[in-house]
Amino acid sequence: MLIIGIAGGTGCGKTTVVNQIIHELPENEVGIISQDSYYSDTSHLSYQERTKLNFDHPRAIDFDLLRQHLLELKSGKPIEQPVYSFVKHNRTSDTILTHPRKVMIVEGILILTNKELRDLFDIKIYVHADSDERLIRRIRRDINERGRDIDEVLLRYQSTLKPMHQQFIEPTKEYADIIIPNNKYNTVAVDIVRTIINERLI
């Protein structure tokens, strides 16, 4: 199994890069796991308490479960991937049955901060985007998809997102095998990754 980790700051366009990479690849041979599914269970907290949590700190992620699931997939076993609700700030009771694939892509802002998880990646990719561009994308997504208002989004950006990015996410660039600029010039990098995957699928 080829495991690819794709990281980068919030709103950098990781999903776009993932879609570019898997475009034209056989659907049944490539799987995707999102770090967002592995936010730690916060059922013991009230909704108000959950809204105050710093979800952009590595502590917010259940890396042990994510790593365990990757190891199970690598050994040929299916997993029950958690489902997370950004509206409730907690995992739901649902899970997604995820089967092993020849290529597994793991994407998330914090996945390169954890050494044990990082060591499982055969290819480590960092998607870079301008901070203003990332903020604009984050505002649009949180308002349109997650039911936030503009004041809440900007407060969270200033109080946690920006400092956490500078402290934890930006430094993980040094672990990346490939840094992809998320703009119209990223086609060469994406083609290289797709070529590596195709060679593994032969």
Q: What is the DSSP string of the chain?
A: -EEEEEE-STTS-HHHHHHHHHTTS-GGGEEEEEGGGGBPP-TTS-HHHHHTS-TTSGGGB-HHHHHHHHHHHHTT--EEEEEEETTTTEEEEEEEEE---SEEEEE-TTTTS-HHHHTT-SEEEEEE--HHHHHHHHHHHHHHTT---HHHHHHHIIIIIHHHIIIIIGGGGGG-SEEEESSTTTHHHHHHHHHHHHHHH-
- Looking at the predicted structure, is the pLDDT value of residue 175 above 90? yes
Between residues 154 and 45, the one the model is more confident about: 45
Residue 125: per-residue pLDDT: 95
Between residues 201 and 178, the one the model is more confident about: 178
- Looking at the predicted structure, is the pLDDT value of residue 185 above 70? no
Q: What is the pLDDT of residues 93-132, one digit of tens each?
A: 899 999 999 999 999 999 999 999 999 999 999 998 877 7
Q: Hey, which residues does 125 pair with through a beta bridge?
A: 6, 178
Residue burial 137-169, b: 16+ Cβ < 10 Å; e: rest: bbbebbeeeeebeeeebbebbeebbbebbeebb
Mean pLDDT of 141-150: 79
Query: How would residue 10 be classed by pLDDT, with cut points 50, 70 and 90?
Result: confident
pTM for this predicted structure: 0.86
**Topology classification of domain 2-190:** Rossmann fold (3.40.50)
- Looking at the predicted structure, is the pLDDT value of residue 188 above 90? no
Sequence-ordered list of residues with C-beta below 8 angstroms from that of 156, at least 6 positions apart, any chain = none
Residue 183: per-residue pLDDT: 66
Q: What is the pLDDT of residues 15-38, one digit of tens each?
A: 888 988 888 788 789 999 999 999
What is the bridge-based pairing of β-strands 90-98 and 2-7? unpaired
Per the prediction, the chain carries an average pLDDT of: 89
Q: Match 């490539």 to its residue by tokens.
A: 30
Residue 81: per-residue pLDDT: 95
Share of the chain above pLDDT 90, in %: 48
Query: How would residue 172 be classed by pLDDT, with cut points 50, 70 and 90?
Result: very high
